């Protein structure tokens, strides 16, 4: 009897374990656009359009490859509205006795499938470099789970940029060379976008109609929606941006939302590109002398290091991880995260380009929107839901550890050894935002002082008990303690007043 083979919206890979296990010509692939997945957070319209368009094209590619596919469109009148509902409907239709699927990237959906009233066989997702077992073995017995050591294991495992058992260039990490501030201009057109074809247009019309109340601009839409297009985007990145990727990895610019970043995470996370093939393309460019070692190593570390590591943490820590609030921060997420006006130019820009592109690069996510939320004491769960909704590459397995762990220090310090907080000085050094800001980055107190300058000390002061024993934060507390008492009182009072204005809904 035919079985059902579930392929989820972020499992669009021909080498998916469920497809490898199934029998072409006999088993039936189920792909479904459902309101439950489109609505568990209010995803950015560009993200929904990307996923639906890529799902429709992947279904077509499977059919061309000889698979029988039952595809459900969102507006199909028989649509059951959920993944499990669709499996049950298709099982009834085809008399299938059970389902094969690849493990979803969220506990929410894993648990639904585990408890579905149909026999469901969940296979490992082997599109990653490390299996759950390998990560667990690595983590076993370690006092601290630091990414850097895990990354070295992944370098050894993949052989990427290795010379025998030694790292190429005799160093595991070239980050020291990767901290240049924003350049005067970005000289290339970036990134590679694709004109919507008739199929994409159809999806855009659907998303426009159904998700008009979600935050974000749907048009212009230029994401790749097939593997062929995603491969072109990869080639384009390697040829045009990779050489400077390392140098400007941490820089931020008003005029360039993307700088030299790859803008490949939406495609890798959907399954259109494999993480290893992306790294191999980068390694090849370095071997051919087309990219410097700091760029190639820095990029490969993001993928086989950070990407694999955060996934490992998400599954190791379990379903409760995303809900943690280790610092007990409770403030509501300010309205300017959803596009309301703010006078903070850095935040306005990071949110503005998020609205426009469903994209912000790592440092904008970490040191602008993330930094602000942490300093201002925002409830990490609300922060986490915002990130999950607004970025085209956001799925809980990768988003939650980055937000709850790395950015908000809400996991109690599993991922980060100290909170990623900074005053305005860091943002000023790495960006051109401050010169166009209502606030003055050089002012520490008084009228027009940069809120990051005030909130930085407010954060350290209110979490003193938690952090003063942390050797990596000792210098910060020494600096605070050296200030005279009157100055400290002024900083805390002004920070408190600024937060009161924020709370009262004033434009800050």
Q: How far apart are the first and last CA of the chain?
A: 63
Q: In whole angstroms, how close is the CB of 406 to ligand DLZ at the nearest point?
A: 19
DSSP letter string, 38-104: HHTTT--HHHHHHHHHHHHHHHHHHHHTT-EEEEE-TT-TT--SSHHHHHHHHHHHHT--EEEEEPP
Residues 387-406 close enough to bind ligand FAD by CB under 6 A: 387, 391, 393-394, 398-399, 402-403, 406
E strand intervals along 116-180: 119-123, 162-163, 166-167
Is position 160 an interface residue for ligand SF4 (rule: CB under 6 A)?
no
Q: Which is nearer to ligand FAD, 120 or 302 (CB)?
A: 302
Binding flag, residue 310, ligand FAD (CB under 6 A): yes
265 binds, among ligand FAD, ligand DLZ, ligand SF4, none (CB under 5 to 8 A by kind): ligand FAD
Stretch that binds ligand DLZ, among 102-110, 206-214, 287-295, 414-422 (CB under 6 A): 102-110
Nearest residue (CB) to ligand DLZ, 306 versus 336: 306
Q: Which is nearer to ligand FAD, 393 or 494 (CB)?
A: 393
Q: Which is nearer to ligand FAD, 80 or 394 (CB)?
A: 394
380 binds ligand DLZ (CB under 6 A): no
Sign of CA dihedral 253, 437, 175, 411: negative
Site membership for ligand SF4, residue 467 (CB under 6 A): no
6 versus 450: smaller Cβ distance to ligand SF4: 450
> Which residues between 312 and 351 bind ligand SF4 (CB under 6 A)?
344-346
Buried b / exposed e over 450-461, threshold 16 CB at 10 Å, is bbbbbbbbbbbe
Site membership for ligand DLZ, residue 48 (CB under 6 A): yes
- Cα distances from 373 to residues 50, 103, 224, 319, 408, in angstroms, run 28, 32, 32, 23, 8
How many residues make up the chain in this entry?
508
Q: How far is CA 279 from CA 268, 308, 393, in A?
A: 11, 13, 18
CB of 262 to ligand DLZ, least distance (A): 21
When asked if residue 113 is in the footprint of ligand FAD (CB under 6 A), the reply is: no
Residues 1-20 that bind ligand SF4 (CB under 6 A): none
67 in contact with ligand SF4 (CB under 6 A): no
Nearer Cβ to ligand FAD, position 362 or 462?
362
Q: Which of residues 3-42 bind ligand DLZ (CB under 6 A)?
A: 8-10, 32-34, 37-38
97 vs 119: CA distance, rounded Å:
7
Q: Which is nearer to ligand DLZ, 33 or 432 (CB)?
A: 33
Q: Is 353 a residue that touches ligand SF4 (CB under 6 A)?
A: no
CB 402 within 8 A of CB 365: yes
Measured CA distances, 142 to 50, 139, 301, 304, 320 (Å) = 40, 6, 21, 20, 21
- Our finding on whether 236 is near ligand FAD (CB under 6 A) is no
């Amino acid at each position: 009897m035919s079985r059902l083979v579930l392929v989820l919206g972020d499992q669009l890979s021909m080498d998916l374990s469920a497809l490898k296990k199934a029998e072409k010509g006999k088993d039936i692939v189920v792909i479904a656009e459902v309101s439950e997945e489109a609505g568990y957070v209010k995803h950015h319209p560009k993200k929904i359009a990307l996923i639906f368009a890529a799902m429709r094209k992947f279904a077509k590619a499977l059919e061309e490859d000889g698979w029988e596919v039952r595809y459900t469109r969102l507006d199909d009148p028989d649509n059951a509205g959920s993944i499990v509902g669709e499996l049950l409907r298709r099982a009834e239709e085809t008399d299938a006795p059970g389902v094969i699927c690849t493990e979803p990237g969220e506990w929410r959906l894993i648990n639904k499938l585990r408890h579905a009233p149909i026999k469901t066989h969940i296979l490992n997702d082997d599109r990653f470099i490390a299996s759950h077992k390998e990560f667990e073995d690595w983590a076993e017995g370690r006092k601290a789970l630091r990414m850097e050591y895990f990354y070295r294991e992944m370098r050894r495992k993949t052989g990427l940029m290795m010379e025998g058992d030694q790292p190429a260039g005799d160093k595991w990490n070239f980050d020291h060379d990767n901290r240049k501030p924003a350049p005067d201009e970005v000289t290339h057109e970036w990134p590679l976008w694709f004109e919507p074809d008739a199929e994409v247009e159809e999806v855009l019309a659907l998303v426009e109609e159904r998700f008009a109340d979600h935050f974000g601009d749907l048009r212009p839409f230029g994401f790749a929606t097939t593997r062929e297009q995603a491969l072109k985007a990869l080639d384009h990145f390697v040829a045009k941006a990779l050489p400077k990727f390392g140098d400007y990895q941490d820089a931020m610019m008003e005029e360039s939302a993307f700088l030299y970043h790859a803008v490949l995470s939406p495609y890798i996370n959907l399954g259109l590109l494999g993480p290893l093939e992306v790294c191999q393309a980068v390694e090849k460019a370095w071997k051919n002398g087309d990219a410097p070692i700091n760029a190639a190593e820095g990029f490969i570390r993001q993928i086989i290091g950070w990407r694999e590591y955060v996934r490992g943490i998400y599954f190791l820590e379990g379903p409760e991880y995303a809900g943690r609030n280790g610092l007990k921060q409770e403030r509501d997420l300010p309205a300017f995260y959803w596009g309301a006006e703010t006078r903070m130019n850095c935040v306005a820009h990071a949110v503005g380009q998020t609205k426009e592109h469903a994209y912000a690069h790592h440092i904008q996510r970490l040191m602008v929107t993330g930094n602000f939320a942490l300093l201002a004491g925002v409830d990490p769960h609300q922060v986490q839901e915002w990130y999950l909704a607004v970025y085209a590459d956001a799925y809980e397995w990768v988003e939650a550890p980055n937000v709850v762990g790395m950015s908000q220090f809400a996991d109690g310090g599993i991922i980060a050894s100290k909170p990623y907080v900074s005053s305005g000085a860091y943002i000023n050094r790495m960006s051109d935002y401050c010169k166009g800001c209502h606030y003055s980055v050089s002012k520490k107190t008084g009228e027009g002082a940069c809120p990051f300058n005030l909130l930085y000390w407010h954060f350290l002061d209110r979490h003193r008990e938690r952090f003063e024993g942390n050797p990596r934060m000792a210098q910060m507390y020494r600096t605070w303690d050296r200030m005279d008492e009157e100055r400290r009182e002024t900083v805390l009072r002004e920070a408190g007043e600024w937060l009161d204005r924020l709370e009262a809904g004033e434009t800050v």
